[in-house]
Chain A
Amino acid sequence: MEIEAYLRKDYITNLVREGKRLDGRRFDEYRNIEIEKDYVGEKACGSALVRLGDTKVLVGISLNVGEPYPDAPEEGVMTVSAELRPLASPSFEAGPPGEEAIEVARVVDRGIRESKAIEMEKLFIEEGKVWIIFVDIHVLDQGGNMIDASGIASIAALLNTRMPRYEDDQIIRGEWSGKLPISCVPVPCTSVKIGDSILIDPGLDEEYAMDARLTVATTDTINAMQKGGQGTLKEDEILSTIDLSFEKGNEIRKLIQCP
């Protein structure tokens, strides 16, 4: 695995220097994106499967009633977790989330939280009781760019989420009362730097070959950013990646909002 990745890095770096990508895409071109909402619709409150090229991510949403955070007693709570399932890649192992899974979850979390996409103040039930929203990211096939696939699947699943009926201090499972209130659609866009070029939506081999990575999650403003990788980025590279992320984010947002 390691040695193969090392050899492929050289090949891909040379290819990029000639202005080409392994799968023939332009540098500013995403792979094909398919969004399937309500993929596991019988039990979960909401779900979506996203295929980004051959990367597959399934997100399921569960709702529970619980205690609010002390510093926001009248708002709902959201937690995002990611599991990189071992069936998705030979390099994933069973067990508790590692640093890669935690990074995916936290970057997706920041985009949703900071854009205030979920109207948390509408999730207040009564004093000491609010709705808790669990966003569970399941990476099923790792073909590269898990962050974007997970972010797109998460907000698509949230848009698909129904509120369970709540009566006499009890959740009535299988009965619903309306949709989860969502105010905007944050979209993370990830680019990598290989040599002196910036490529959006890296495939798996491009991730091995990358020097640095930058994710920019946008709505009408920037809501979250995350630099990754052991290489460096220049100011103009960061600024042009922001522009590209706004542009691509808008296109992807339209896809997500398609009913």
Chain B
Amino acid sequence: MAKEDMELIKDGRRLDGRKFDELREIKIEVGVLSRAMGSAYIEWGKNKVLAGVYGPRELHPKYLRDPRKARLRCIYNLAPFSVEDRKRPGPDRRSVEISKVSSDALSSVVMLEEYPNTGIDIFIEILQADAGTRCVGLNAASVALADAGIPMKDIISSCAAGKVNGEIVLDLMKEEDNLGECDLPVAIMPRKKEVVLLQMDGKLTKDEFKKAYELAVDGAMRVYEMQKEALISSVNDVIIGE
């Protein structure tokens, strides 16, 4: 098969010229939607992702209400035009799974006990997709939660690593995701470096896993700094009145 033969790495550089441990270009904007409680927009390489937070608000249907805490629901949605072959609108199995693991990840940082009986809804819209969208979506969602002023134990920072032509590399782009040997998205609470999301598919030995995991965590820590910077400058804008 041609998969392994395809040259994704040449002279220690990747298709887009990146080094193995280099992230794509990332731009984070805070507070981009007027009606949501909090929102964020991230451009990450060719990915364009929007996240909005609604709530805490009344939760329907009623039987979902939990008298001990809020119920957090995260919906990940891929726009039909976000990929080359149009995606049929509505949830498919992949989106449902990503929504589930993202809800779990975000539930681990949001202080849900503060808002019993309510619902917190987070919507992630992938406007343009180029691999790594669940990580970008989580990064945007947690910035949007912070923008909404919802109390959290920590923010979530996320990045993927993987294996391409036998090399462990950071932040796979589309070609590397399609033709590479492995993808490992990781999301952490940066202050404690504890994992809130981890998925993997492909082929890795334990040593390779350790290397890829540490690279992904390192990438997430760099994203963390950008998330903080974006949030701080959004607050400064308000104070200075820009």
Question: Which residues of chain A have a CB within 8 Å of any CB of chain B?
Answer: 2, 6, 97, 99-100, 102-103, 105-106, 110, 113-115, 121, 214, 221-235, 238-239, 242-243, 246
The segment from B24-32, B138-146, B205-213, B229-237 found at the interface with A is B205-213
Q: How far is the CA of A225 from the CA of B209 in the complex (A)?
A: 11
**The one of A114, A221, A238, A243 that contacts B198, using a Cβ cutoff of 8 Å:** A238
Closest to A227 in B: B198
- Asked if A227 and B101 make an inter-chain contact with CB atoms under 8 angstroms apart, the answer reads yes
Contacts of B108 in A (CB 8 A): 230-232
- Give 6 A-B contacts (CB < 8 Å), ordered by A residue: A102-B97, A110-B201, A214-B198, A225-B200, A226-B198, A228-B101
Which 6 A-B pairs rank lowest in CB-CB distance, beginning with the nearest? Answer: A232-B194, A225-B200, A227-B198, A230-B107, A99-B100, A233-B195
**The one of B66, B104, B204 that contacts A228, using a Cβ cutoff of 8 Å:** B104
- Asked if A103 and B194 make an inter-chain contact with CB atoms under 8 angstroms apart, the answer reads no
Q: How far is the CA of A105 from the CA of B201 in the complex (A)?
A: 14
Closest to A70 in B: B85
Closest to B205 in A: A221
Closest to B214 in A: A235
- Further contacts, 19 of them, CB under 8 A, given A222-B209, A226-B101: A2-B66, A99-B96, A99-B99, A99-B100, A102-B97, A103-B101, A105-B93, A106-B93, A106-B97, A214-B198, A221-B204, A221-B205, A222-B204, A225-B198, A232-B108, A232-B194, A232-B195, A235-B193, A238-B198
Number of interface residues of B (CB under 8 A): 35
Q: Which B1-54 residues sit within 8 Å CB-CB of chain A? A: 1
Q: How many A-B residue pairs have CB under 8 A?
A: 89
Closest to B186 in A: A227
Contacts of A103 in B (CB 8 A): 97, 100-101
Q: Does B189 contact A (CB under 8 A)?
A: yes
Q: Does B172 contact A (CB under 8 A)?
A: no
Closest to B106 in A: A230
Q: How far is the CA of A222 from the CA of B207 in the complex (A)?
A: 10
Q: How far is the CA of A233 from the CA of B104 in the complex (A)?
A: 13
Contact with A along B102-120 (1 / 0, CB 8 A): 0010011000000000000
Contacts of B217 in A (CB 8 A): 235
Contacts of A2 in B (CB 8 A): 66
Q: Does B197 contact A (CB under 8 A)?
A: yes
**The one of A114, A234, A243 that contacts B206, using a Cβ cutoff of 8 Å:** A243
